[in-house]
Amino acid sequence: MGKKKDLDIYPSIMCCKPWDFEAYVHAFEKTGVAGIHFDVMDGHYVPNIMLGAEDFKAIRALTSLPIDVHIMATEPERFVSYFDVRRGDSLSFHPEVSLQPYRLLESLRAAGVSAGLALSPGVPVCYLEECLDVLDFVMVMAVNPGFAGQKMVPDHLAKLRRIKTIVSRADHPIGIVVDGNTIPSNARLMHQAGATGFVVGTSSIIQGGPDAFAEKYRDYQAQIARVE
């Protein structure tokens, strides 16, 4: 996660209409995205309920692309086993609601899964300092988790810069992936602040249906690169 290319793009399957899943997955494969972002919400940690085990199985049956699972749930340890994450996949969870975040990161890495901590707005970055040795990436929420279509919180860019400083102390590369309101104008600033990848959804490039995805994907990459 965050180490395959200069910019890793993870389209969110949650933002696709269920009847378009197969067509979107084929579009993702053709464009060479880094993986498919898969949101899990428990209705407790976040005020929404989203994508379950059967949805995961359906996506897995359609493609060999890596799946990037983001567990927005209290006690994420209880949810991991519901999803057949495999070597090459990635999984992030929120450390402030985990019983043993370090242990969970260790177990993911032992299974060949890229292990990540997800930080919501207001959650301190100090969690990262305690887990650098077993951390592969950080999923930084630019919005309050739970719903698509929100606006970036005001202090997000400053938080990204602090995260970049912290992860640079590790003895291995740690990706910084942003989730939430990653429209091109925001993504340019996020990239400059340290982001190495983006989750994209309805506010960025999942619009216009599967047939339009490839063109939107290329344009998205180009718009970010123009300011580098």
Q: What is the pLDDT along the chain (228 residues), one digit of tens a residue?
A: 534 446 899 999 999 888 899 999 999 999 999 999 999 999 999 988 999 999 999 999 999 999 999 999 999 999 999 999 999 999 999 999 999 999 999 999 999 999 999 999 999 999 999 999 999 999 999 998 866 667 889 999 999 999 999 999 999 999 999 998 999 999 999 999 999 999 998 877 888 889 999 999 999 988 887 644
Q: What pLDDT does residue 204 have?
A: 75
Q: Specify the pairing of strand 197-200 against strand 175-179.
A: parallel
The whole-angstrom separation of Cα 52 and Cα 102 is: 25
Kindly state the tokens that stand for 80.
Answer: 């991991």
Q: What pLDDT does residue 4 have?
A: 42
Instruction: Report how far Cα 14 is from the mean position of its chain's Cα atoms.
Output: 12
Q: Are 78 and 47 in contact (CB under 8 A)?
A: no
Point out the residues that are catalytic: 39, 179
Q: What pLDDT does residue 207 have?
A: 80
Q: What pLDDT does residue 2 have?
A: 37
Closest CA to 70 of 169, 177, 172, 163: 177
